[in-house]
Amino acid sequence: MSQQDTLFPPPRQAGLVFIAVTVCLDVVSHTIVFPVLPRLVEQLLHGDRPGAARWVGVLFAGWSLAQFFAAPILGMLSDRFGRRPVILISVFGLSIDLVVTALAPNLAWLMLARVICGLTAGAQTAAMAYVADITPPEERTQRYGLLNAAAWTGVIIGPAIGGVLGAMDPRAPFWAAAAVALANGIYGLMVLPESLPLERRAPLNWGQANPWASLTLLRERTGLLTLGVVFFMLWFAGQAINSVFVLYTAYRYHWTPMALGIFCSVLAVGNILVQTQLASRAAKRLGERTAVLAGLAFQVAGFTAVGLASTGLLFWLANIPMILANIAGPALQALMTSKVHPDEQGRLQGAMGSIGSMTGLFGPIAFTQLFAWAISLGHGPGWSGVTILAGAGFSAVAWALVMISRRQDRQGLSID
């Protein structure tokens, strides 16, 4: 058996399938609330629609805040006790969250459920570390692409389940998702092996069990801090369109909910195809860093085209480079995992989880306020695109930072 086989033992196929399903379910648990949460909140507030709108924002912020603090803790615990227990506890915790949501008699209980959901997002943190444990560096782009595709599948499934079942009862989607999460947890108990051997586990250090300490890892590995900022910029740029997407398309193109749903489904399918078929091939042919650069270049072009698109048809066409931009994400994840030791993968994924949740906290506030300012100027619908153009600016900064990281690596870096 080669040294690489020892370090990265062949995974059981059922275990990898379980990891993909878990990532998908994590996204489903978050997106299933989109069609029904406003209705449920309005129901609990006895028809107070303005109050419901305010509370929906608070509930989403509560989810992001909980994830911000939980991700580094669960990542560190997975480095110490293994990935399997953290993943399974998170999956069963997700089922509990969904039951609490389904039973919530008031907004306090609903907020508790959203916080539990944010805390159980550690399943994704440990799942990403699990893949790094069992995958040689040169194959990580492909597997991270598959996991990201699983997440996009959740983007399709979650709102669909929420819309269909929510038409009968706003609480029904949560019962259905809870049953699936529970079944997935029981399945994981039977098929998921541990990926982190005892000799590769890190000692427990509670001083690192917070978002700020987890981010120190980025400073400890030369070149990783720059890539961490790129990761932040990539996610933050995404908020430029995700935060205002419904409002933007309704305001500028007068899209109906049906038109919006069709577009989202097509977009998700395109993203899945790029993540599963193109991302790994681009990384192998171009190299991971060049693949990130190419993806970010597509993103700059896509955001610019979307922000300037004057019609719905042009908006559709402008999203083609946005779809191709998805080659950047898996390659960036693989590049970052190659810069840390095996017993630091959970800590790294925890830091990345905190970065992602930070964008979820601040991005929606920043870009919705920018959108509101733009449409209040009275210069016509075209000015609303300034929000999207801001995303192009952040993507361009990320592209420049990747170029800087290339120069850093040429200086002869090591994680020893």
Q: Do 235 and 148 reside in the same domain of the chain?
A: no
Domain boundary among 170, 197, 224: 197
pLDDT tens digits, residue range 35-87?
677 677 878 888 776 677 567 667 777 777 887 777 778 777 888 888 888 88
CATH number at residue 301: 1.20.1250.20
Q: Do 76 and 17 reside in the same domain of the chain?
A: yes
H-helix or E-strand containing 101? Answer: helix 83-103
Q: What CA–CA distances, in Å, run from 376 to 226, 372, 389? A: 37, 6, 17
Q: Do 148 and 22 reside in the same domain of the chain?
A: yes
User: Does residue 240 belong to any structural domain of this protein?
Assistant: yes
Q: Do 219 and 133 reside in the same domain of the chain?
A: no
Q: Do 11 and 131 reside in the same domain of the chain?
A: yes
What pLDDT sits at residue 400?
94
Q: Do 12 and 75 reside in the same domain of the chain?
A: yes
Residue holding tokens 């092996």? Answer: 193
Q: Do 217 and 153 reside in the same domain of the chain?
A: no
Residue spans of the chain under pLDDT 50: 1-9, 413-416
3-state SS string over 229-296? Answer: HHHHHHHHHHHHHHCCHHHHHHHHHCCCHHHHHHHHHHHHHHHHHHHHHHHHHHHHHHCHHHHHHHHH
Q: Do 99 and 228 reside in the same domain of the chain?
A: no
Domain boundary among 141, 167, 197: 197
In angstroms, rounded to a whole number, what is the distance separating the alpha carbons of residues 353 and 372?
29
DSSP conformation class of 202? P
Backbone angles phi, psi at 106, to 5 degrees: -155, 180
In angstroms, rounded to a whole number, what is the distance separating the alpha carbons of residues 167 and 162?
8
Domain boundary among 131, 166, 197: 197
In angstroms, rounded to a whole number, what is the distance separating the alpha carbons of residues 384 and 348?
37
User: Does residue 362 belong to any structural domain of this protein?
Assistant: yes
Q: Do 186 and 219 reside in the same domain of the chain?
A: no
Q: Do 236 and 296 reside in the same domain of the chain?
A: yes
Under 8 Å CB-to-CB from 251, ≥6 apart: which residues? 375, 381, 384
HSE-up (13 A, CA, CB side) for residue 277: 8
HSE-up (13 A, CA, CB side) for residue 158: 26
Full-model pTM: 0.72
User: Does residue 161 belong to any structural domain of this protein?
Assistant: yes
Give how many domains the chain has, as a whole number: 2
What pLDDT sits at residue 309?
93
User: Does residue 338 belong to any structural domain of this protein?
Assistant: yes
If 0-12 CB within 10 Å is exposed, 13-18 middle and 19+ buried, where does residue 251 land? Answer: middle
| Token output for 236 | 């933050």
Sequence letter at residue 237: A
Q: Do 320 and 403 reside in the same domain of the chain?
A: yes
In this structure, the number of other CB atoms found within 10 A of the CB of residue 169 comes to 14
Domain that holds residue 183: 1-197
User: Does residue 415 belong to any structural domain of this protein?
Assistant: no
- What is the C-alpha R_g of the chain? 21
Sequence letter at residue 70: A
Under 8 Å CB-to-CB from 19, ≥6 apart: which residues? 87, 127, 130, 131, 147, 192
Is the Cα torsion angle 22, 85, 356, 56 positive or negative in sign? Answer: positive
Q: Do 390 and 344 reside in the same domain of the chain?
A: yes
User: Does residue 297 belong to any structural domain of this protein?
Assistant: yes
User: Does residue 60 belong to any structural domain of this protein?
Assistant: yes
User: Does residue 202 belong to any structural domain of this protein?
Assistant: no
